[in-house]
Amino acid sequence: MVCAQCGAVSDEGQRFCYNCGARLEPQAAGAPQAPAQTAPPPSLTPPVQPQPLGQPVGYQQAPAAYSTVAVPNSNLAIISLVSGILGWVLLPLIAAIVAVITGHMARREIRQSGGQLAGDGLALIGMILGYAQLALTFLGVCAGLFFFIIAIAASM
């Protein structure tokens, strides 16, 4: 098959030209094929182009269409993480409850944002820290009650 744009000859059954990438139209059975053009073999090394000053050789600047976009973190996820850490440092019960609640709210908000918000990991870590602190607080209260009851029973 012969490419209509660049004239390169491609194998039968190819959909796109190997040379320019243009879509190849299948030829009718009776249509004569264009004679193969003899082109010089392509050079294995690309031509050297002068690089602007300050840019390393061999690197190209990314086109504007491929620039990176920073997705902002959810504010609730950050609050969950900070509260989870504060639950272990300053305010064990209150901060742990805030970490769990805001963590769940943040994960729901991130799922519903359709990729416009990030921070699922932050919210998850905040929730884990909050749940762990709540579990330790619960175990501490149970242990305190147990020892209180033992002390009362021993004094009778």
Q: Which run of H or of E encompasses 145?
A: helix 120-155
Q: Is residue 124 part of a domain?
A: yes
Non-local (6+) Cβ contacts of 27 within 8 A are: 1, 33
For the chain, percent of residues with pLDDT exceeding 90: 51
Q: Is residue 116 part of a domain?
A: yes
Q: Which domain holds residue 79?
A: 75-155
Q: Is residue 110 part of a domain?
A: yes
Average confidence score pLDDT of the chain: 82
As a whole number of angstroms, the distance between CA 78 and CA 125 comes to 10
Q: Are residues 97 and 151 in the same domain?
A: yes
Model pLDDT for residues 109-120, shown as the tens digit of each residue? 999 998 899 999
Total domain count, the chain? 2
Q: Is residue 106 part of a domain?
A: yes
Q: Is residue 39 part of a domain?
A: no
Model pLDDT for residues 80-89, shown as the tens digit of each residue? 999 999 999 9
For residues 141 and 17, which has the higher predicted lDDT (pLDDT)? 141
Q: Is residue 88 part of a domain?
A: yes
Which pTM does this prediction carry?
0.55
Q: How far is CA 152 from the centre of its chain?
A: 57
Q: Are residues 30 and 79 in the same domain?
A: no
